[in-house]
Structure 1
Amino acid sequence: MSEAKLTPITNRGVERTETKKEYLTACIDWVQITVKNATPETICEEILGIKYDIMREDLRAGIQGARSVCSHGDIRILEHTGQNEYIGHQLLMAGKGCREFENHLVAQGIDWFQFFERALKFDINFPRIDLAIDDRKTYFKIATLRTMAKKGQCVTRLRLGVGHDSFDLSEGDGLGDTIDFGSRSSELFVTFYEKNHEQATKFGNDEKRKERWNRYELKFRQKKAVLVVQELIKSRDVYSVVMPILNEKIRFAVKDSADSNKRRWKTWQPWGWFMQDISKLQLKMEPMERNYPEFYAWLEKYIAPSLKVMQEIDRITGERNLQRLIDESVLDRKHEDMIERFIRQYEVFNTQDRLALNTKTMNEDVIYLRNAIHLLENTELLPSELSMMCRRFYFVFHDYFMKEQRKTKEVMETERHLNKMSQAIVHHMLDNNWGVVKDQLFASFRALLALIERNSRLEIVG
């Protein structure tokens, strides 16, 4: 949608469907807390509200001045090496970790504001907090902001501005625009970019480029991070944090050649509409869905003992209360979706190892690859699950090229490419770069599936 086609916010007679559909939302996208005088167990149990015994050793690289200690998914605890001002532990949650932690917040019946309140009861500091605003209406194009900024139409107190775009070197296709405000090392850094292009590149899915999705990230460090947390707790909203910062720091204006004072220039209308809708901005939680292996592990560790107790009581008393509870439970749409999702994941994760490769049909390969691609694109996977998928990909990959008699140029080039990808994946696994492993697995599955579907004479069933 071009800037000129946006409906004016001041049109009071028009019902704003955008508000109902929540085209503009905010989320916590990075939380980094330094905790002094507390053990990892205390941090887990009393600050995070997570049982310490479900944490596992974190073999990933640490961050500057801190080494990894333990983690639950991407909720990480690190230990300072003694080279920093704050000696103690770091609690670190990047974007994915924040989404995972929101599952725990929901389970505890609290929100981010209450979590920050709880954390402040301890001897802590906030090195960094990020707020992300997702704009699925796209009030403006990032490229337009870049052009206006270069023409001097950005009224800002931030001294440094960087605008850039990414593109595919082989095809020359654009991969998204970005504009940065401020220095990455300063206490406030703001970046606007096209999230749809970032997601399309990450998952190799060009359909995502058609979506409307800009992201505006505000990254706060040190003193400003502390002030942001205090304001969030005080106001219980993100509007009171975002609005003053954007009002004070950034404004796009219509150039007035007759007035040399840019601060008197009129606000560019699309920016004005955006800022007025910021007043309705809500902090959203988007808990990351638990996958089947995680669900099974949770059931086994926390629920199964209670079920066993109930089963034993029924055995002794001759009752059938446990079965009655199960039979009388009502499943809603959320549970039905969970069943469907878990069955799909079960089929991928529990496919029997291929001991007799020559008995496997081409259709089964295609079904497996399609399921794996869907899972990689839509589910957060544990390192153990990604390792399993790497192993099974190896079987499918080598089986296909052993059987394929038509050694065309395309087949040979794809085989060489996937061989290199397989070697790279192994190296990233050894370095615990699981995000890279997932992205490269996704690209490899797609490349192999495309080749099989193009070259196969069989009727593919989906």
Structure 2
Amino acid sequence: MEDFIKTPKLTGSHIKTIRDMLNLKQTVFAEKIGISRALLALVETGSKSITDEFIEKMYTAFPDLKNALDLQFDWVTITFSDMNGEQVIKDVMRLKSELFLERSTTQNFYTREFAFAGEKNIYVQDFEPTKDVDTNQDVQKVGATMYLTGQGTRLFEKALLEQGLTWKKFFVRAKRFKGTFSRLDIAINDNWGLLDMDEIIEATQ
């Protein structure tokens, strides 16, 4: 199930880019990470695969590489077509329902909303139960959407850590409940000034 999230592997050209970014010749870079220049040359040309040991040596020698770019989710919207809001909170988010304020809404074609601490940071929308005219019983229409706004993603990330989960594992759980991802924003903190905004805009367009 976890295979639906694909993560790119480091290639030799990535290693060369990192070395160029550090403004180091092959000999110096290889010496600093504790390998031969010949091995580094083979890695950079793709003739030799990049091992976990190689990456660990590189991060040990240049620990700031791990912080060059920070990525964090900035908005997450997931819809569950066969669940109601209470089920999403309990089974998918695994948060206590009493932490959410229930109220009516007219937003996004839903009629009910559960807002974490009453704020619009973490909230779930679904349909208020209606009365069946024949049986006078409550009828719950299914379908709910979970929203995490910018601040909400930070708060929810803390909840995931308390559950011992990563974002990836949470997304896998959401997929198990047939969640459909309609919005997934990522914020990139460029701590080293590596990115050219004009190039990013051009590539996006």
Aligned partners of 2:79, 2:24: CA distance in 1, in Å? 42
The one-letter code sitting in structure 2 at the alignment partner of 1:131 is I
The 3 A distance-change label for structure 1 pair 38 and 141 is closer
The structure 2 residue matched to 1:36, chosen from 60, 81, 86, is 81
Residue ranges of structure 2 left out of the alignment (5+ in a row): 1-19, 33-60, 129-141
The 3 A distance-change label for structure 1 pair 131 and 140 is closer
Q: How big is the shift at 1:98?
A: 0.9
Aligned partners of 2:143, 2:189: CA distance in 1, in Å? 34
Q: Please report the RMSD computed on the Cα atoms of aligned residues, expressed in angstroms.
A: 3.2
1:280-304 CA-partner distances (Å, limit 9, x unpaired): xxxxxxxxxxxxxxxxxxxxxxxxx
Q: How big is the shift at 1:127?
A: 0.9
- Asked if 1:112 corresponds to 2:127, the answer is no
Question: Which residue in 1 is equivalent to 2:123?
Answer: 76
Question: Which residue in 1 is equivalent to 2:22?
Answer: 7
- Asked if 1:129 corresponds to 2:176, the answer is no
1:330-377 CA-partner distances (Å, limit 9, x unpaired): xxxxxxxxxxxxxxxxxxxxxxxxxxxxxxxxxxxxxxxxxxxxxxxx
Q: How big is the shift at 1:140?
A: 4.5
The 3 A distance-change label for structure 1 pair 58 and 75 is farther
Determine which structure has the larger helix proportion and give its number: 1
Question: Which residue in 2 is equivalent to 1:101?
Answer: 156
Confirm or deny: 8 A CA contact 1:76 1:93 kept in the other structure: yes
Aligned partners of 1:36, 1:78: CA distance in 2, in Å? 12
Alignment of 1:410-429 (within 5 A): none
The 3 A distance-change label for structure 1 pair 108 and 17 is closer
Aligned partners of 2:23, 2:97: CA distance in 1, in Å? 52
TM-score by length of structure 1 reads 0.27
The 3 A distance-change label for structure 1 pair 19 and 59 is farther
Q: How big is the shift at 1:111?
A: 1.2
Q: How big is the shift at 1:67?
A: 5.2
Confirm or deny: 8 A CA contact 1:40 1:89 kept in the other structure: yes
**SS in structure 1 at match of 2:176:** coil
Question: Which residue in 2 is equivalent to 1:53?
Answer: 98
Aligned partners of 1:30, 1:122: CA distance in 2, in Å? 20
Q: How big is the shift at 1:77?
A: 0.6
Residue ranges of structure 1 left out of the alignment (5+ in a row): 82-86, 157-180, 183-462
Q: How big is the shift at 1:9?
A: 6.8
Aligned partners of 2:126, 2:153: CA distance in 1, in Å? 20
1:66-102 CA-partner distances (Å, limit 9, x unpaired): 4560111411112379xxxxx7111011221111101
The 3 A distance-change label for structure 1 pair 136 and 36 is same
Confirm or deny: 8 A CA contact 1:31 1:128 kept in the other structure: yes
Determine which structure has the larger strand proportion and give its number: 2
Aligned partners of 1:41, 1:8: CA distance in 2, in Å? 54
**How many pairs does the alignment contain?**
139
- Percent identity (aligned): 23
